[in-house]
Amino acid sequence: MEDIESRNIANLEMETDKKKILEVKNLKTYFYTEEGVVKAVDGVSFNMYEDEVLGLVGETGCGKSVTALSILQLVRAPGEIEEGEVIFKNVDLLTLKKKKMRDYRGKDITMIFQDPLNSLNPVMTVGTQVKEVFELHQREEIYELLDQKMLEWKNKQNRIKELEKKLEDNETNQRLTKEEISDIKNEIEKLEEETRDRPTYRSILREKSRKILEEVGIPDPEEILERYPHELSGGMRQRVMISMALSCNPSILIADEPTTALDVTIQAQILDLMKDLKNEYKTSVLMITHDLGVIAEICDRVAVMYSGNIVEYATATNLFKNPRHPYTKGLISAIPTLDKKKKELDTIRGSVPNLIYPPEGCRFHPRCDYRLEVCDKVRPLLTQIGESYFVACHLFDPQYKDSPKYEWGKEELERTRKI
């Protein structure tokens, strides 16, 4: 079993000329609750490439958020990362010491969350929270910048002294013309204006925070820095979250349902902003969502998760054009369309399986219309079935092409319909 899995994972390469930036291999995160072990993430593998958006889509409770939190090792007790590898730029993050891992968080890999109100500290001003990221990860850069600015400042001060001396000398020997004198006076005035505030660590920090807020489209950033999160609108709060996530120019931005808590017009604004910023900063984005619309809007590749596993992993274009896995098919056909006027929307029957006692074999088999006899006995693994196309389903496994189709009993169907 282990053997097949590792072989399988090694094959998970997409045909692309882009550089691989993050590799998640066979990640397992379990929660040890009193009722039993919840296998929230059970052997998830995927790759992320430079300057691309990977969508991680699935219904509530399928483990997509836990996957994201596991990458940053922010899973809370009683959750624990059981096994797997998270390889970022040739370093397995899961083997790092806590202190070393902290350097990656907020700097190389950053994260924004679903509910921007609860994700910002209510008793700290926006400014304090934005500045914190710079202070955590860019202290040295700020001091370097400070030295540089100090040097400039001193040079300008010296220049003022020089000019003043010139004027003084002029009083005795009267060598300058009137125009020259007024030029010098103007220059002194200009320099004095520029050197009025001596550059400090705080002023640079403030300037940086102001700039990053401007970058995410916040009007009047000076004012917003002094505000508390509850004084901002939902869209503004999410912009502040995004500004914090982008402030250190990260390689990867994990966005955990960033638009779910916002209303539709703001959703579109935030998505546009993320698209723009992604192109500007060349940041790879892991977009976690249950909204296929968001995926279609922004993602280059998609991984569909079901019950702690990735069941389909392909480029977004291919996936929407021709979904293979019965679950993905069900999801896509459940999207309401305007042209087909039907009384009832398509649904996937049954409900999400219990993650403490997940179904044997393929976890989707109790809800699957295409179920084979083998489906409740052998667990399917992600296998390549086309160019950049991976699916975990026995329907596409040549090994089981002779397996007979499972005959659903009437009672069984009735039972799942009722749920």
Residue 63 beta carbon to another protein: minimum distance, rounded to whole angstroms? 17
Q: What kind and span of H or E run contains 43?
A: strand 37-49
Give every strand in the sheet of 383-386, ordered side by side.
109-112, 252-256, 284-289, 53-57, 301-306, 309-315, 389-391, 383-386
Instruction: Choose which of 136, 163, 332, 378 interacts with another protein (CB under 8 A).
Output: 136
- Which amino acid is present at 317? T
- Rank residues 110 and 267 by Cβ distance to another protein and give the closer one: 110
Beta strand 389-391 pairing with 309-315: antiparallel
Nearest approach in angstroms of CB 261 to another protein is 11
Structure token pair of residue 271 = 């998505």
From the list 39-47, 97-105, 169-177, 215-223, the region that binds another protein by CB under 8 A is 97-105
Two tokens at 38? 């919840």
With binding defined as CB under 8 A, does residue 338 bind another protein?
no
Query: In 45-197, which residue ranges form alpha helices assigned H by DSSP?
Result: 64-71, 98-104, 126-137, 139-173, 178-194
Residue 53 or residue 126: which is nearer to another protein going by CB? Answer: 126
Of residues 149-168, which lie at the interface with another protein (CB under 8 A)?
none
Listing DSSP states for 264-328 in one string gives: HHHHHHHHHHHHHHHHHHT-EEEEEES-HHHHHHH-SEEEEEETTEEEEEEEHHHHHHS--SHHH
Dihedral over Cα of 214, 216, 221, 225: its sign: negative
Residue 102 engages another protein in binding (rule: CB under 8 A): yes
Q: How far is the CB of 140 from another protein (least distance, A)?
A: 15
Q: How far is the CB of 294 from another protein (least distance, A)?
A: 21
Taking CB under 8 A as the criterion, the residue among 137, 324, 325, 367 binding another protein is 137
Binding range to another protein, per CB under 8 A, among 102-110, 195-203, 216-224, 302-310: 102-110
Restricted to residues 36-55, the positions that interact with another protein (CB under 8 A) are none
> Which residue in 20, 28, 89, 105 binds another protein (CB under 8 A)?
105
Contacts of 8 (CB under 8 A, 6+ apart): 381, 382, 383
How far is Cα 410 from Cα 419, in angstroms, rounded to an integer? Answer: 15
Shortest reach from residue 133's CB to another protein, in Å: 5
Among 94, 133, 205, 262, binds another protein (CB under 8 A): 133
Size of residue set near another protein by CB under 8 A: 28
Nearest to 368 by CA among 313, 317, 330: 330
Residues 244-273 contacting another protein, CB under 8 A: 244
Q: Does 34 bind another protein (CB under 8 A)?
A: no
Identified binder of another protein from the candidate list 88, 113, 306, 389, rule CB under 8 A:
113
Kindly write out the interface string for residues 58-87 of this chain, putting x where it contacts another protein by CB under 8 A and - elsewhere: --------------x-x-x-----------
Q: Which two tokens stand for residue 403?
A: 């397996």
The region of 106-114, 201-209, 298-306, 359-367 touching another protein under the rule CB under 8 A is 106-114
Amino acid at 28: K
122 or 398: CB nearest another protein? 122
Cβ proximity to another protein: between 38 and 133 the closer is 133
- DSSP assignment of 235-265 equals HHHHHHHHHHHHTT--SEEEEESTTTTS-HH
Task: Compare residues 5 and 115 and give the one whose CB is closer to another protein.
Answer: 115
When binding is defined by CB under 8 A, the residue of 86, 120, 277, 314 that contacts another protein is 120
Degrees (nearest 5) of the Cα angle 56, 60, 61? 95
Burial per residue of 18-52, b for 16 or more beta-carbon CB atoms within 10 angstroms, e otherwise:
eeebbbbbbbbbbbeeeeeebbbbbbbbbbbbebb
Residue 67 beta carbon to another protein: minimum distance, rounded to whole angstroms: 15
- Please report, for residues 10, 166, 236, 307, 357, the alpha-carbon distance to residue 408 in angstroms, rounded to integers and kept in the order given: 36, 99, 51, 22, 22
Determine if 107 is a binding residue for another protein (CB under 8 A): yes
**Tokens found for residue 267:** 């959703």
Taking CB under 8 A as the rule, does residue 103 contact another protein?
Answer: yes
Name the residues that contact another protein, by CB under 8 A.
72, 74, 76, 102-107, 110-111, 113, 115, 118-124, 132-133, 136-137, 228, 230, 241, 244
